[in-house]
Structure 1
């Protein structure tokens, strides 16, 4: 097959400098097939899909246990050439109005097949890659010939979920905790701290303001310390695998014995920190703020806050994409019960590609199947 089919390639057009896509964005691209001589195809299609997957192993004595789980979000195909003997597949809808014009016999040379898909407006998680799991969105082309091995090529797409700070999500709700501790061993007295946060959700690059009141009625100097850390959780077969990492550590000015002080500390969220992922059933990316008092020769009193890191708002707006069918709007961040979604095929091609990018026959949008109906994919 390699002597006849010289190349099968999938490419797509970036829509911004970061080469990221968000909810509602349209992915336009092309499948390129190069053949050295006359070649007859049984089928040729491009698949657009999104999925999460976790995998790890654990050793228990002489036994190795494998923990594996998958979660599929969507899978839809656009056929350029379809096998006439193939059965109908409910997970795909032929919407390319020029699909019937493609010949299944290719002459020597390069053949280009344009496609376009739209990311759902519904709440799906951002792309992710961790130690024991990943969330990927990809385009996969498959070329099949009679009595030959099929040829497959794919490329991944970086998807960043559109942030939502609506009151429904509770991310604008202030947080407040109090903690006191009686000193023991080599320190006498008592220390207390009162910590407030203005909200729970923060964008990449935003300053997180910590309002801290410290009362030091002990015999020693104490130092307030701050730490933002990340936790990756992977779930499979009733088990959870956890990895944590400190992202930011800062130390405040010391508080002498028998003093009280109000402190405001600003912690800047890094621009490149990965956003929180709370809407995936098998992978969680969570963030916490830990505020504690460093006390010599004694355990440190601490307070922890759950915080949510949202992607910066410098991503394309959903309004730039063709409108979706009524009733399929974007759901609040972290909705545990997303509704079944789909998209109607628009009546005209998207405005993003220029005439020079594609031949006049480039395709329209594929209609998505119901969630969890991917037994054949």
Structure 2
């Protein structure tokens, strides 16, 4: 028999979303086919399929001594979420042509880390097929798939409003400069990519300087290895208010900050965390910025219609009083507006319907896929608002 040549070896997944990508969640069935194309008869020892999911962290730090490097320290850590292996065929002879071999396995029911690519680490899932032949090197192919650990923002914790206030005096003693005050509120803590954060803020400038209120959404990636952490902060989105002269104030009554395509929050992985925060701050030329940070969670299951209405009423009703604006209460809704149909009642008792969850996953994946292939945003390994002292002038007042 003349030994044939393996022309192609490929892994194909059965379940693809509308973006033609394989996407799964914990506990779901992953199935597909290994396609082998050969020219002529071949002798096969085995065809194996291995599925793995790994969170991996790695970075290097060096310490210099003069012109030489004293030492280099590598920090690495790994957490395995999935390991499954199957032998699809044993030793046999194969004929020329195209052959397909099915495989399937269930993802673990445990909480899996969402697929992620960061500066110092990643969370990746893949299926690898390996064709073994006697007296020849094996032929291998690997194909990644995406895993989402769903975060439902329709929970009391993530629907709760976030608020805070701060005040800062630029100098003390005999200086006539007054304080700068900042108050901020947002309707909820949880959002999904594509949402807009509605910001209610009040800024009052009693200082002698011209200041500018601004807002920014930051992503913080934290990597852990060998008892040490490495933090990367990235600017995701921002907006700018109008400059404020002495004695002036400014109100943001629902300024919108759009959330672009970003990875969901990762909160349960022991070596990688992805967190978000809305930072509203007052840019003070020649002085320390007055900043207020509100932690946010980027989820995967978007806001339900009823939850959206409740959140909107809550934020608008309480934000007016909180910002010192007179409230204008509306007439109470009719019973027909409050009555919940039985189908919706079952919906809230048993969670999101399957077709809604599929739609939510598809919509989210559109953003995540777009984000995955964008160039990485700017990052900074230093505090964006460092504690500074204005040159030539003591700053003995508390900065908060």
Tell me, yes or no, if the aligned pair for 2:239 and 2:257 is still in contact at 8 Å. no
- Relative to structure 1, is the Cα distance of residues 210 and 294 closer, same or farther in structure 2, using a 3 angstrom cutoff? same
**How far has the Cα of 1:153 moved from its partner?**
0.9
Give the alignment's TM-score, normalised by structure 1: 0.70
Corresponding residue for residue 137 of structure 2:
149
Between 47-56 and 268-277, report the one with greater CA deviation: 268-277
Between 214-223 and 134-143, report the one with greater CA deviation: 214-223
Cα distance in 1 for partners of 2:302, 2:177 equals: 49
Give the alignment's TM-score, normalised by structure 2: 0.67
**How far has the Cα of 1:265 moved from its partner?**
4.1
Picking from 60, 64, 87, the partner of 2:72 is: 64
| 2:183 corresponds to 1:194 | yes
| 2:271 corresponds to 1:293 | no
Cα distance in 2 for partners of 1:62, 1:211 equals: 52
Picking from 165, 172, 176, the partner of 1:178 is: 165
Corresponding residue for residue 228 of structure 2:
239
Corresponding residue for residue 159 of structure 1:
147
Listed as ranges, the matches of 1:209-220 within 5 Å are 209-220=198-209
Picking from 280, 298, 319, the partner of 1:309 is: 298
Q: Deviations over 1:57-95 (max 9, x none)?
A: 22123322211111111111232124xxxxxxxxxxxxx
Cα distance in 2 for partners of 1:34, 1:261 equals: 68
Picking from 73, 95, 98, the partner of 1:110 is: 98
**How far has the Cα of 1:36 moved from its partner?**
3.1
Gaps of 5+ in 2: 64-68, 304-351, 356-400
Q: Deviations over 1:91-128 (max 9, x none)?
A: xxxxxxxxxxxx72212222110223344454212211
Secondary structure at the counterpart of residue 306 of structure 1: strand
Secondary structure at the counterpart of residue 218 of structure 1: coil
Secondary structure at the counterpart of residue 159 of structure 2: coil
Q: Deviations over 1:169-213 (max 9, x none)?
A: x22222222211112288711111122222211111111122212
Q: Tell me which protein shows more helix as a share of its residues.
A: 2
**How far has the Cα of 1:143 moved from its partner?**
1.8
Corresponding residue for residue 6 of structure 2:
5
Corresponding residue for residue 88 of structure 2:
80
- Return the structure number with greater relative CO, CA threshold 8 A, min gap 6: 1
Picking from 9, 27, 30, the partner of 2:30 is: 27
Secondary structure at the counterpart of residue 62 of structure 1: strand
Gaps of 5+ in 1: 83-102, 321-377
Q: Deviations over 1:268-289 (max 9, x none)?
A: 3334122222221111222111
Picking from 99, 103, 119, the partner of 1:131 is: 119
- Relative to structure 1, is the Cα distance of residues 268 and 279 closer, same or farther in structure 2, using a 3 angstrom cutoff? same
| Aligned residues between the structures | 296
**How far has the Cα of 1:318 moved from its partner?**
8.4
